Structure 1
Amino acid sequence: MASAPAQADFKTRLQNLIPKLVLAPSLAVIFLFVYGFIIFTGYLSFTDSRILPSFNLVGFENYSKLFRLSHWTTSITNLAIFASLYIGISTLIGLSLATFLDQKIRGEGLLRPIYLYPMALSFIVTGTAWKWLLDPGIGLEHTMHLWGWTSFHFDWIKNSDYAIYTVVIAAVWQSSGFVMAMFLAGLRGIDNEILKAAQMDGAGNWQMYRRIILPQLRPAFLSAFVILSHLAVKSYDLVIALTGGGPGRATELPATFMYSYTFTRNQMGIGASSAVIMLMTIAAIMVPYLYAELREKK
Structure 2
Amino acid sequence: MALTTATHPDRPSAAGIQPSRSMRARMQDALPKLVLAPSFAITLIFVYGFILWTIYLSFTNSKAFPKYVLTDARAYQRLWRWTFESDPPSSWYTSITNMGIFGVLYIAICLGLGLLIAILLDQKIRGEGLLRPIYLYPMALSFIVTGVAWKWFLDPGLGLEQTLHQWGWTSFHFDWIKNKDFVIYTVVIAGVWQASGFVMAMFLAGLRGIDSEIVKASQIDGASTFQLYRRIIIPLLRPVFLSALIVLAHMAIKSYDLVVALTSGGPGGSAWLPSNFMYEYTFKRNEMAVGSASAVIMLATISAIIVPYLYSELREKAR
**TM-score bucket (shorter structure):** over 0.9
Query: CA deviation digits over 1:32-79, x for unaligned, max 9?
Result: 111111110011001111101111110111100111223211111110
- Deviation at residue 200 of structure 1 after TM alignment: 0.7
Q: CA deviation at 1:248?
A: 1.4
Q: Given residue 312 of structure 2, which amino acid in structure 1 is its aligned partner?
A: A
Cα deviations across residues 236-287 of structure 1 (Å, max 9, x unaligned)?
0000001121111221110000000000100000000000000000000000
Equivalent position amino acid for 2:55 in 1: G
Secondary structure at 1:203 match in 2: coil
Distance 2:31 2:276 in 1: 43
Regions of 4+ moved over 6 Å? none
Q: Does 1:8 align with 2:8?
A: no
Q: Pick from 256, 275, 281: which aligns with 1:261?
A: 281
Report Cα offsets for 1:159-216 as digits up to 9, x if no partner.
1111110000000000000000111011111110011011111111011111100110
Query: What residue number does 1:55 align with?
Result: 68
Aligned pairs (5 A) from 1:121-136: 121-136=141-156
Q: Which residue is 2:125 aligned to?
A: 105
Q: 2-side partners of 1:188 and 1:170: how far apart?
A: 28
Report the Cα distance in structure 2 between the residues aligned to 1:22 and 1:76, rounded to whole angstroms.
42
Residue correspondence of structure 1 range 23-102 to structure 2 within 5 A: 23-69=36-82, 70=88, 71-102=91-122
2 CA distance for matches of 1:158 and 1:253? 17
The aligned amino acid for 2:80 is F
> Aligned to 1:252, what secondary structure does the other structure show?
coil
CA distance in 2, matches of 1:165, 1:181: 24
- Give the CA deviation at 1:114: 0.1
Alpha-carbon distance in 2 for matches of 1:37, 1:3 = 50
Q: Which moved more, 1:112-121 or 1:19-28?
A: 19-28
- The amino acid that maps onto 2:127 is G
Percent of paired sites with the same residue: 65
Shift of 1:15: 1.1
CA distance in structure 1 between the aligned counterparts of 2:276 and 2:98, rounded to whole angstroms: 11
Is 1:273 aligned to residue 286 of structure 2?
no
Task: Give secondary structure in 2 for the equivalent of 1:248.
Answer: helix
- Letter of the structure 1 residue corresponding to residue 22 of structure 2: D
Q: Are 1:294 and 2:314 counterparts? A: yes
Matched, 1:141 2:161: yes
Deviation at 1:3, TM superposition (A): 1.3
Q: Distance in 1 between matches of 2:166 and 2:220?
A: 57
1: CA distance between counterparts of 2:31 and 2:223?
58
Amino acid at match of 1:78: N
The 3-state SS of whatever aligns with 2:268 is: coil
Alignment partners' CA distance in 2, 1:67 and 1:246 = 23
Q: Which amino acid aligns with 1:32?
A: I
1:210-225 aligned at under 5 Å gives the runs 210-225=230-245
* Alignment equivalent of 1:162, drawn from 162, 172, 182: 182
The residue number in structure 2 matching 1:187 is: 207
* Letter paired with 2:178: K
Secondary structure of the 2:59 match is: coil
- Normalising by the residue count of structure 1, what TM-score does the alignment of the two structures yield? 0.98
Cα distance between partner residues in 2 of 1:235 and 1:79: 10
Equivalent residues, number: 298
Q: Which residue of 1 aligns with 2:85?
A: none
Alignment-mate amino acid for residue 282 of structure 2: T
Counterpart code for 1:221: F
Q: In angstroms, what is the RMSD of aligned CA positions? A: 1.0
Structure 2 gap ranges (5+): 1-11, 83-87
- Return the alpha-carbon distance in structure 1 between the equivalents of residues 253 and 36 of structure 2: 31
Q: Does 1:22 align with 2:43?
A: no
Partners of 1:248 and 1:255 in 2: how far apart?
16
